[in-house]
Structure 1
Amino acid sequence: MSSKNYDRKCKICDEQYTNDLNAEYEWCKSCQTKYLGDSASGNEKIDDLIQEIQSKINDPNDIVFEWIPYDQFDGIEEISKGDIATVYSAIWNNGPLSYSYFKKELTRISEKKVALKCLHNNSQNNINELLSEIKTYSINNLNNILKIYGISQNLDTKNYIMVLHNEYFEKCCKKCGQLYTNIEFKWCNSCHVNYLNKNFTTHLSENKEIDNYIQEMQLKINNPRTIVFEWIPYNQFVEINEISKSGFTTVYFAKWKDGPLYYEYMVGWARELDKKVALKCLDNSQNLTSDFLNEVTTYSIDYFDNNFKIYGISQNPDTKDYIMVLQNEYCEKCVKCGKYVDAQHKWCKLCQMNHFKEDFMNWTSGNEVINGFIQEMQLKIDDLSDIIFEWIPFDQFYNVEQIVKNKVKDDVAAVYSAIWKDGPLIYSPIRKDLKRESDNKVAIKSYHNSKNNISEFLNEVKIYSTKYLNDILKIYGISQRPDTGDYMMVFPYKECEKCGNPNINDLKAKYEWCRLCQIKYFEENFTKWTSGNEKIDNLIQETQLKINDPSKIVFEWIPYDQLYKKGEISKSDFDMIYSAIWKDGPLCYYDREWIRKSDKKVALKYYHNIPVNTEFLNEVKAYLKMKFSFIINIYGISQDSDTKDYFIVLENVEGENFNDWINSSETDGSP
């Protein structure tokens, strides 16, 4: 179906329009092709290519690729000259052809600024190379590929010229004319590789395996923030001091005179002079090149990687042992054990583990299984931001208030808010040790009969997390009710900033989402819309008020003028299904508010002769039931403004026969 009654045939040739867009623009491919006529480059291959590209025009927004006489260009100015091509800026007097929506015909956009790209290798004698490059550009205005208007020819040199969109100057390197690898930094990987080849051919290790590895690492560079891996002559290092020696490995602290290469925006490559580095030397590595390189691969050249960084390889001229040149942070040592896990914050996992092991004798839950579980959780800590999971005596809590009534059916006896006197253990980056955050408000879940079902209780505990960097609800530890003996989980306390309602459910706490505020929001919006049918309005309102977490789809009344670009998918005796684009799109909960995901592709399901009062509502309820079973999404109900038929708006299923897909979903026993 279509939201507008377009004339489906061309007024000139009486041929059928291929789609709604062409019908709306009254644009006919056949007529446009005839209008363009033959090109006149004087070269058969170029004329054939122009006609081939013109034949690929499919809608009125596509660029009309053409032969452009050279005398059409004014203000020609050289912008860049590289090894492959020279690029000029120019003004195209007549300008490119563009289809006018109002005039319903092709017109020219005069005085258009363009880029002219001329290949150095005399393109009149290398037509195939020229034609291959032209095919890398695009005439489709809707994709991200650089656009091309056509071909011209310099009247003096007879060289052919590619006429490109002005965006070429923003997206392409001025040295080589290739597309920037990183447009933000104006960084070109091709020029970078050429720079390395010109400047580092003399800096060789004299070991073929190592030289190949260095070249391979340099070719992996794909952004300006990557370390340039190099062969570094040993005489570049001064102030060399031994830091540690273990087994076959010795680590030194040193200063690299020239320092590593870094890329500076709009300037280029420079060196960070007198850079402090760590030198890691492996004994007898001159005879164990493969083993040495295996060790090298454990380090990183990516500044955004959490692993230690490596600048390159060197060699001791006396011992001939190879050396890894590492970031200075590698040299930092724990004052207690000689090793850091987090050098920036001076946090040592080994010392942390030793502290917990020594403290195991100072507390007990009274149950060996619970004790073992807590000890296991503590020994899993591998980051200073991790929560330290603990046994928390119940007498640590005061101002205990019940906030959720008993739910024996799901084994939750009660939920409380409380103040934890001593509070959780937190690593202090200033003191470089653990301290407690006293008088911390927490939520406590008490589980019914958990003292007799410890395994089930601990399986529930495992659902939660002690990692601050993931989205799972966090947990501080375990406690026990003194009156019933039931075990309890202790969580960070979350509450709604608007109404103060406690958020102790997983998804509520994760998304900072409040059901009471959500219901109020829906109720306030009930008066702002209507389907025109009381039963449909009631069904939508009832469904919205049942929502119980922010990941659910909000079932809505969707105005018909929100749906466009519709085309038939399938048809049966019972119903018809169309594809459509929902302009505003469905509601999605993001960053503590509801936003819409615009231009959502959906399916519209119409029914033949089904009254709203009976079968239609039953059909909608069936889809709502499937929705909550995660089989298919139903977004809402709408009404055709022409036929007055109600229909449902469903998730679009790409690449499927829609009816077959629905039927299989309804009968395959999916939960």
Structure 2
Amino acid sequence: MPSPCKRCGEKYIYTHNANNEWCKPCQINDLKNKFLSWSDNEKIDDFIQEMQNKIVDYHDIIFEWIPFNQFRDIKEIVKNDFITFYSAIWEDGPLNYDNNGYERKRNKKVFLKCLYNSLYIINEFLNEVKTYSIKKQGDIPKIFGISQDLDTKEYIMVLDDEYCEKCDESLDEYRWCKSCQINYLEKIFTNLSGNEVIDDFVHGMRLKMESSYESVFEWIPYDQFDDIKEISKDNFNTIYLAKWRDGQLYYHDRWFRKPDSKIILKYLHNSQNYTTEFLNNEVKDYSLDKLDGVLGISQDPSTNDYIIVFQYYHCEKCGKRYTNGQDMNFKWCTSCQINYLEKNFTNWSSGNEEIDGLIQKMQLKIDSMFDKVFEWIPYNQFSNIDEVEEGEFSAIWKDGPLIFDYDKKEWIRKSDKKVGLKYLYDSQSNIGEFLNEAKAYLEDELEDIEIHGISQDPNTNDYIIVLWQNDSYESCEKCGEEYLNEFNEDNKWCRKCQMDEINNNFLDWSGDERIDNFIQELQYKIDDPINNIIFEWIPYNQFSNIKLIGEGGFAVVYSAIWRDGLLKYSNNKWTRTSNTKVALKYLHNSQNISDGFLNEV
């Protein structure tokens, strides 16, 4: 729990670590005493205080009265009948919180927004100010405070440098202005299809762009494509892999192309005969997002078929975006995998329509290569059936469950899988009750038990739930301990053997029995090598670049570089991540080891 502030008794707000203690009342009072000027207008000053009282986190912007003589290099950039925008440099700059105190970020570029007659319409002016945000995160434009022109006496909003100097539109993090950039793109695009309907559609799609993260929709001449290779075909579409010679447009401070971009071409047969339907039914609903977006349209000059051009990280079979996005190592397409499973429906039947319906419904929910395939499993697939307790048996599933092979990009079976069989006696007479029992496993209502599918004993006709339970874990061939299979079924991880390997090859010890026992105690709590940290004794000579970052009554905190670095488990082996950046927390007088010190750890 947060401890109380030593100055005012209010609870600290811990923002990012326990050594950076941020007390809102004390910080606001300090700001008033040290930094902030005031307008001498009671309504404006009350409003500034109101905005400051909205601060709830050290990240928040400190809203201020900013004297006009703080601004230099003032340049008019936009002007109309109601508003004038200026760019300027704020010499002292805004307040930033760091290391338990506020400091100014000098020479900050800002925008000044001046509303005409604001001196006489203060309520309207303040309502306009409220449309901006003091939160550093989020999409709402940021505001630093209010100022006043010394000559005209007009009040001025001081805004973050998030606005286009040409048109006053807000910019994204890459300083991308929608209005100006779309106007620029309209000027540079000279490629046209020659079909007015197509060209109007391309223009309309381009106008939908909202940020630099989105793809620029284009008409792409067919002669731009090289190395065209067919990868799938049906009665309506043909899918090709190709290279786009000039390549896709990207924005980072400016527009540039990535030559020889890999792309997917989806030909729609005879689409030239129904242009409007092609655009509205096939293209219109695709996103421009760079992760799953469409890049444009082309046309094959030999067949006149229209072509939809996709990012390379779209499926080579169906043209839909891979479910795992840009991770081309796996290329998982939910749509194609569901189609595969649907085709397999004809290969099995439980003989009961309700059970078949549940199995098909669960298979169609699969949206990841890591999901298990719920199946009907013929009883003759089980061998070595041994009763564990009444109604529950262990067995070997000969073919085993379906596993998605990342390398082959297809489903394979893991043979001779040890499973649990749970018989529900007389379940053939009460299908509804049996299905409710199965759904309880499927919906994770029963912890630590996973379900592979359903079977049926041909002798009794009882239905069976086929389970993989914690007590069905296999044992390590070296030491006999159970594998921690919940980490990764294919990466059998034995805690005892792995910790023995770590202790023999990697770890130093303190020489203090109490500390070493404590370290071992924490090490033996590890049950997941990927997500758990190996707690260690780290020799002090491993640290370099030690720098003070904060201190309090009982502790001092330093940043440092740990030369050998953190132990990580990957590809069935342990390695160190060298030059890991760490924080060192020194506890005064802790050399006399106490329970209090170990509790702090």
Structure 1 length-normalised TM? 0.48
| 1:296 alignment counterpart | 129
Is contact 1:340–1:346 with CA below 8 Å preserved after alignment? no
Deviations 1:69-110 (A, max 9, x none): xxxxxxxxxxxxxxxxxxxxxxxxxxxxxxxxxxxxxxxxxx
| 2:44 alignment counterpart | 210
> 1:236-385 to 2 correspondence within 5 Å?
236-237=69-70, 239=72, 241-244=74-77, 246=79, 247-265=81-99, 267-273=100-106, 275-328=108-161, 330=163, 333-334=165-166, 342=171, 345=174, 347-358=176-187, 362-385=190-213
SS in 2 for 1:287: coil
Asked whether 1:421 is paired with 2:254, we answer: no
Out of 352, 372, 379, the residue aligned to residue 554 of structure 1 is: 372
| 2:259 alignment counterpart | 438
Q: What is the CA distance between 1:417 and its match in structure 2?
A: 0.9
Asked whether 1:398 is paired with 2:226, we answer: yes
Q: Matched residues in 2 for 1:359 and 1:240: separation?
A: 33
| 1:8 alignment counterpart | none
Is contact 1:422–1:436 with CA below 8 Å preserved after alignment? yes
Aligned length: 389
Q: What is the CA distance between 1:217 and its match in structure 2?
A: 1.1
Is contact 2:300–2:306 with CA below 8 Å preserved after alignment? yes
Q: What is the CA distance between 1:189 and its match in structure 2?
A: 2.4
SS in 2 for 1:478: strand
Q: What is the CA distance between 1:606 and its match in structure 2?
A: 8.2
Q: Matched residues in 2 for 1:343 and 1:506: separation?
A: 25
Q: Matched residues in 2 for 1:315 and 1:279: separation?
A: 10
Out of 283, 300, 303, the residue aligned to residue 481 of structure 1 is: 300
Matching residue's letter, 2:13: T
Label 1:302 to 1:387 Cα distance change in 2 as closer, same or farther (>3 A).
Answer: same
Q: Matched residues in 2 for 1:188 and 1:503: separation?
A: 56
Asked whether 1:451 is paired with 2:272, we answer: yes
| 2:67 alignment counterpart | 233
Q: What is the CA distance between 1:477 and its match in structure 2?
A: 0.8
Structure 2: segments with no counterpart, 5+ residues: 338-355, 376-402, 410-420, 444-449, 456-461, 468-601
Is contact 1:303–1:309 with CA below 8 Å preserved after alignment? yes
Deviations 1:118-161 (A, max 9, x none): xxxxxxxxxxxxxxxxxxxxxxxxxxxx4xxxxxxxxxxxxxxx
Label 1:504 to 1:548 Cα distance change in 2 as closer, same or farther (>3 A).
Answer: farther
Q: Matched residues in 1 for 2:63 and 2:295: separation?
A: 44
Is contact 2:322–2:333 with CA below 8 Å preserved after alignment? no
Asked whether 1:467 is paired with 2:289, we answer: yes
Label 1:422 to 1:199 Cα distance change in 2 as closer, same or farther (>3 A).
Answer: closer
| 2:217 alignment counterpart | 389
Label 1:226 to 1:554 Cα distance change in 2 as closer, same or farther (>3 A).
Answer: same
Label 1:213 to 1:608 Cα distance change in 2 as closer, same or farther (>3 A).
Answer: farther
Out of 27, 30, 50, the residue aligned to residue 195 of structure 1 is: 30
SS in 2 for 1:298: coil
Deviations 1:289-331 (A, max 9, x none): 122123323332222234443211122344322122233565x
SS in 1 for 2:147: strand
Is contact 2:313–2:326 with CA below 8 Å preserved after alignment? no
Q: Matched residues in 1 for 2:158 and 2:365: separation?
A: 58
| 1:135 alignment counterpart | none
SS in 2 for 1:291: helix
Matching residue's letter, 1:438: P
Is contact 1:414–1:446 with CA below 8 Å preserved after alignment? yes
SS in 2 for 1:269: strand
Q: What is the CA distance between 1:451 and its match in structure 2?
A: 2.5
Q: Matched residues in 2 for 1:245 and 1:540: separation?
A: 63
Q: What is the CA distance between 1:373 and its match in structure 2?
A: 0.8
Q: Matched residues in 2 for 1:422 and 1:478: separation?
A: 15
Q: Matched residues in 2 for 1:382 and 1:391: separation?
A: 19
Q: What is the CA distance between 1:516 and its match in structure 2?
A: 10
Q: Matched residues in 1 for 2:207 and 2:120: separation?
A: 40
Q: What is the CA distance between 1:254 and its match in structure 2?
A: 4.8
The alignment's C-alpha RMSD in Å is 4.9
Q: Matched residues in 1 for 2:149 and 2:119: separation?
A: 10
Is contact 1:309–1:327 with CA below 8 Å preserved after alignment? yes
Matching residue's letter, 1:450: S
Q: What is the CA distance between 1:503 and its match in structure 2?
A: 8.0
**Percent identity (aligned):** 37
Q: What is the CA distance between 1:389 and its match in structure 2?
A: 0.8
> 1:155-194 to 2 correspondence within 5 Å?
171-184=3-16, 185-194=20-29
| 1:87 alignment counterpart | none
Q: What is the CA distance between 1:615 and its match in structure 2?
A: 7.6
Q: What is the CA distance between 1:493 and its match in structure 2?
A: 1.7
> 1:568-647 to 2 correspondence within 5 Å?
607-610=424-427, 635-637=451-453, 646-647=464-465
Structure 2 length-normalised TM? 0.53
Q: What is the CA distance between 1:608 and its match in structure 2?
A: 4.5
Q: Matched residues in 1 for 2:60 and 2:258: separation?
A: 40
Q: What is the CA distance between 1:224 and its match in structure 2?
A: 0.7
Is contact 1:396–1:420 with CA below 8 Å preserved after alignment? yes
SS in 2 for 1:476: strand
Q: What is the CA distance between 1:222 and its match in structure 2?
A: 1.2
SS in 2 for 1:550: coil
SS in 2 for 1:403: strand
